[in-house]
Amino acid sequence: MTDLVLESHALTKIYGQTRALGGVDMHVRRGESLAIMGASGSGKTTLLHVLAGIVTPAAGSVVFSPTDGAPIDVTGGSESLRSRLRRERFGFVFQQGLLIPELTAVENIALALMINGTRRRTALEHAAGWMASLGLAGKEDNRIGELSGGQAQRVAIARAQVTGAELVFADEPTGALDSKTSHEVMDALLWSTTGQGRSLVVVTHDADVAARCSRTVLMRDGSIVTAEVSA
């Protein structure tokens, strides 16, 4: 089994006259946390979306290596393959959570399982277990608007992990939070990913968030310009 869970070669993406990605090579090791930093417009979010199979590059490849099977060509696969990866193998945490306000916290988490065919009762039980592990016991029936920003992000983290995702992509997961809450959310995110042997890719502008990851890459004008190991 390869040490790499994700690997990209020569990724290129162009929007109009703008080169969002200019031949990016990178990798994610199994069990590591990788921070992608850069100024606005540097291409970091585009890179995350291409790695996750949300956006198709103009050229280049992304290969995902699951623990239980042969490597999968993400960019060369069909849209149904990429959708299945996003449902079953990849997890996502965004700055605003993108949770459904009409559902309770536990229903938001369980929905990820029910979409994959898990029975409602079983899905709710698993979702409640994740809430308890992330310090949200007793909040199961709260609507999203009844939770604090940090609590809502922990719900989003649980939703990203409840399917057993091997790789979690987080786009500015602490961007809307104060420093204390940001630290707590990163605690939860790292515990639930690398703490369980899974991998994490974080796009962030926050140097404190990046410093907590095992490795950081810096992007500028669609290219990776530096890569370093965090302390």
Report the distance separating Cα 171 and Cα 160, nearest Å: 12
pLDDT band with cut points at 50, 70 and 90 for residue 228? low
Report the distance separating Cα 164 and Cα 168, nearest Å: 10
Report the distance separating Cα 197 and Cα 230, nearest Å: 18
Tell me the longest C-alpha to C-alpha distance in the chain: 51
Question: Average pLDDT of 8-20?
Answer: 93
pLDDT band with cut points at 50, 70 and 90 for residue 190? very high
196 pLDDT more than 60: yes
**pLDDT tens, residue by residue, 147-161:** 999 999 999 999 999
pLDDT band with cut points at 50, 70 and 90 for residue 126? very high
pTM for this prediction: 0.92
**Percent of the chain, pLDDT > 90?**
85
pLDDT band with cut points at 50, 70 and 90 for residue 1? very low
Report the distance separating Cα 214 and Cα 189, nearest Å: 13
Report the distance separating Cα 26 and Cα 44, nearest Å: 12
Residue whose pair of structure tokens reads 């990776």 in the numeric block: 224
Alpha helices by DSSP H, listed for the chain, are: 44-51, 79-88, 105-115, 120-133, 149-161, 179-192, 207-211
75 pLDDT more than 80: yes
Question: Average pLDDT of 27-38?
Answer: 95
